[in-house]
Amino acid sequence: MALYFMSSSSIPRPPLPTTSGVQGKTSHEAPAGDVQAPPLLTVQKVAEAPGAASAPAASGPAVASPQQSNDGPLGPSHVVAETSSERMNATFVTLARNSDIWEIVKSIRQVEDRFNRKFHYDWVFLNDKPFDETFKNVTTSLISGKTHYGEISKDHWSFPEHIDTDKARKVREDMAQRKIIYGDSISYRHMCRFESGFFFLHPLMQQFEWYWRVEPSIELYCDINYDTFKYMKDHGKKYSFVLSLYEYVETIPTLWDSVKTFMKEHPEHIAEDNSMQFLSDDKGETYNHCHFWSNFEIGNLNWLRSQAYTNYFNRLDKDGGFFYERWGDAPVHSIAAGLLLKKDEIHFFNDIAYYHVPFTHCPTGDQYRLDRKCHCNPKENFDWKGYSCTSRFFEMNKMEKPQGYKDQED
């Protein structure tokens, strides 16, 4: 069975009119709510790479951290290096197959060269099969922090008991005939459900408070000279993105119906100053299909483990759309962030220049890119194109668009 790592969003069409390890057993207690973690999961851990910095979660090597002046909504506008031993309780996390090794190493080199060589954060790798020695040895040699390797429980990578597998099969056959991307894939659906409701419950993730999701074959185009995790904490952010777009309508026809049911069942979880304006053009009656592209995320794990998110995921999971349709983790995470968080708890990392096929986020502004040693082509920036939802995010938050954005519009 293939393990897909791509984002749940599919390649867009024209704009819509109105998306050497040590093995052992670790017991795991599920959070409150209906989500049930398995009692036992196989966990593989590999020690830090030779020569890597070793530090407990609360402290670390001397690094450059930002001293912001004139901080704007896009991040620190001026960064001054200072010596600091403070380090966040954070990790990178990657879902990958053994066969992805030569694609994930490209991502690791990008992340290490542009960011992590200065900060030495840990990296968690998850797979529905055991990682082989080649994968562990090669990745450990490239990462400056400690590496951890875990196997996903069958309970988190299979059809739940309430799913009618015959009905789900007929849906896949229909989607295959209609040529909906990944429409006939079982493993893609397992991936989307796992990323939506379980990755943050894995025993290897329980020790961390913050995560940065990294997928194979991504690129980072600019230097990142400050601790992004610390920036999130210091500025009260819980979720972040670099790219946003519309989801395929055919993959989520009843997702918003389930969301509306959740909102009626749990009005106490809906944030007062939320981002409904980003998600809906009619105050929540319908979904406009905008979402943050979740192959890049920096976020707070405690929020994902909260009672609010647990209740939200359980409602969606019970309704079966991960299998009866093809709900992706990108709209699932985005809708949760848009409704359960205050809008000022969501951050757009303009300065993290990023590529995941087929889209590029290249910071707008010539001097901005020069200061950060960027090598992206600004003409390829997706932010201000017609299929991007980033303009909506700016308008909702009354943020001024960066100078030069009109030159990058369609």
Mean pLDDT on 368-394:
96
Q: Is 297 a catalytic residue?
A: yes
pLDDT at residue 199, rounded to an integer: 98
Q: What residue spans of 178-306 are helical by DSSP H?
A: 186-197, 228-234, 255-265, 276-279, 301-304
Quote the radius of gyration of the chain (alpha carbons, Å): 20
What digits encode the pLDDT tens for the residues 401-410? 988 898 899 8
Q: What residue spans of 198-254 are helical by DSSP H?
A: 228-234
Q: Which two tokens stand for residue 117?
A: 């060589």
Is the distance from CB of 316 to CB of 258 less than 8 angstroms?
Answer: yes
> b or e along 267-276 (b: 16 or more beta carbons within 10 Å of the residue's beta carbon)?
eebebeebbb
Return all residues near 63 (Cβ < 8 A) that are at least 6 apart.
Answer: 83, 84, 87, 118, 119, 227
Return all residues near 252 (Cβ < 8 A) that are at least 6 apart.
Answer: 287, 289, 321, 325, 326, 327, 328, 331
Strands (E), 165-310: 210-213, 219-220, 239-241, 244-246, 290-292, 297-300
Considering 215, 219, 247, 297, which one is annotated as catalytic? 297
Q: Which two tokens stand for residue 296?
A: 């890049």
pLDDT at residue 135, rounded to an integer: 98
Neighbours of 173 (CB within 10 A): 12
Q: Which two tokens stand for residue 87?
A: 């380090």
What digits encode the pLDDT tens for the residues 45-61? 544 443 333 333 334 44
What digits encode the pLDDT tens for the residues 173-225? 999 999 999 999 999 999 999 999 999 999 999 999 999 999 999 999 999 99
Please report which confidence band the pLDDT of residue 86 belongs to, taking 50, 70 and 90 as the band edges.
Answer: confident
Is the distance from CB of 295 to CB of 356 less than 8 angstroms?
Answer: yes
Q: Which two tokens stand for residue 56?
A: 């407990």
What digits encode the pLDDT tens for the residues 307-337? 999 999 999 999 999 999 999 999 999 999 9
The H or E element containing residue 110 is helix 101-114
What digits encode the pLDDT tens for the residues 91-131? 999 999 999 999 999 999 999 999 999 999 999 999 999 99
pTM of the model: 0.84
pLDDT at residue 78, rounded to an integer: 39
